[in-house]
Copies of this chain bind each other. A is one copy, B any other.
Amino acid sequence: MKACILSIGDELVLGQTLDTNSMWVAQQLTAAGCDVVEHRTVSDDQGSTEDAIRDVASNKLCPELLVITGGLGPTDDDLTRQALAACLNQPLELREDWVEAIRDLFRRRGREMNQKNVIQAMIPRGATMLRNDHGTAAGIRATLSKDGRSVEVFALPGPPSEMKPMFLRDVLPFVKERAGGAVLLQKSLHTFGLGESVLAEMLGDLMSRGRNPSVGTTASNSYVTLRINARYDDAAVAEREVRQTIELCRQRVGDVIFGADEESLADAVAKLLIESRRTVTAAESCTGGLLAKMLTDVAGSSVYFKQGFVTYSNEAKRARLGVSENTINVFGAVSEQTVLEMARHSRRLAGADYSLAISGIAGPGGGSEAKPVGTVCIALAHLPTAPTGKRNADREDEVTAYARTFRFGGDRAGIRDRAAKTALAMLRFRLLDRPLPF
């Protein structure tokens, strides 16, 4: 089945916002065996939207599916429903049940519904309303017929948090049913710590052009992701081939692959902590809470994460964690000595099995010749690998702690991101009982 994606918004056409929705929808459709033939972006203008919708219906490539995102908001510049109604030659009708749902939503949030929101319950006559579990804009599903052909149109809200669940619930089952045979299977394997060129060398001929399944790499958010794409007429063959290629990737690249698809490094660490029933704490200076934030991004993190320490100033490192004034004065706040003390003391205070401590220079200011911006010290303190269940001060002499100094590139946000993820990687390899491979 061929599909087109239409995104609507002045901010997209003008280049003020990057169109991540179209990418996500394309990935989903492709993975479901759909053949995405075109993306299009138009402004918040009813005429342009109508033209684009009609154009898709008469496209030479004969798409059978059109997924629209955006333009379902409550304001006067949200005109997707009006444009769709015009293309369908149908009037908009009010769905009283959805007005009630919107009113309820506002009530639950302790507010009064604004009259402007009523428009979000308007649906072209004969179309299907798609309930929105995360916002006030109802989605629309309709069949557009022209010249004896029909295109199934799904209009979804623009905010990703509302669009994605609606797509997965309402669009994906339709696509899967229609797609039948041929598939493009996609799999992402995420790595952290090694550069793209090093990985390319390890992967070797797996990255050859024309290979099926193909293997490519993309660098983003401090990760390098291996992207595997397989095109086969038979889903079972595709799956087997992808499985084999994943196996080959793992053999060549090894443990730096921490997860697949939606998995984050924190997810991988969380899984290992939960399996081994261990807990972790964090003592952070330059990352200022980012590591604790990542550790608690994971639903259910309360099992392994009880507390964290954000000790940004030297005084806080002393007062909260008991880092000795002498250590900071002699070696500096950004030193392996300081992070070792931070890790040891925070572990004991939190009564955790592991502690990660980070201190560094995230910039843009604060760098020196000896410690330029991007210098980050990270320590890991932990009980012996087979804890007896007894923790705290009485076993303090058995605690192991080690530290590493890194030089990260990038801007403030990039350095902080890389520092927090490197700490997670140190813990991950500790939990795997393997040496850090970088």
How many chain copies does the complex carry? 2
- Please tell me if the beta carbons of B13 and A110 are within 8 angstroms of each other in the complex: no
177-209 of chain A: CB within 8 A of chain B = 184, 186, 188, 195-198, 200-201, 207-209
- Please tell me if the beta carbons of A227 and B10 are within 8 angstroms of each other in the complex: yes
Q: How far is the CB of A249 from chain B (nearest CB, A)?
A: 14
Bitwise interface map of A from 19 to 36 toward B, beta carbon under 8 Å scored 1, else 0 = 110111111111000001
Q: How far is the CB of A45 from chain B (nearest CB, A)?
A: 8
Set of chain B residues within 8 Å of A414, measured between Cβ atoms: 134, 161
Q: Which of B12, B305, B311 contacts A288 (CB 8 A)?
A: B305
Give the complex CA separation of A220 and B9 in angstroms.
Answer: 13
- Please tell me if the beta carbons of A306 and B315 are within 8 angstroms of each other in the complex: yes
Q: Which of B23, B105, B201, B300 contacts A19 (CB 8 A)?
A: B23
Q: How far is the CB of A117 from chain B (nearest CB, A)?
A: 5
Set of chain B residues within 8 Å of A23, measured between Cβ atoms: 15, 17-19
Known pairs A38-B40, A219-B73, A289-B292; A310 contacts B308 (CB<8 A): yes
Interface size on A, residues (CB 8 A): 119
- Please tell me if the beta carbons of B312 and A309 are within 8 angstroms of each other in the complex: no
A390 interface residue (CB < 8 Å to B)? no
Closest Cβ neighbor of A310 among chain B residues: B308
71-124 of chain A: CB within 8 A of chain B = 73-77, 105, 108-111, 114, 116-117
Give the complex CA separation of A195 and B375 in angstroms.
Answer: 42
Most chain B CB within a 10 A radius of its CB, from A296, A297, A372: A296
A299 interface residue (CB < 8 Å to B)? yes
Closest Cβ neighbor of A79 among chain B residues: B209
Q: Which of B16, B60, B292 contacts A188 (CB 8 A)?
A: B16
**Which one, A140-148, A233-241, A377-385, A405-413, is touching chain B?**
A405-413
A290 interface residue (CB < 8 Å to B)? yes
11 more contacts with CB within 8 A, not counting A14-B26, A76-B209, A284-B289, are A11-B216, A73-B196, A74-B200, A134-B410, A134-B414, A161-B414, A288-B296, A288-B301, A289-B308, A296-B310, A309-B310
A-B interface, 6 closest residue pairs, ranked by CB to CB distance from nearest: A288-B296, A15-B26, A289-B292, A289-B289, A308-B310, A307-B316
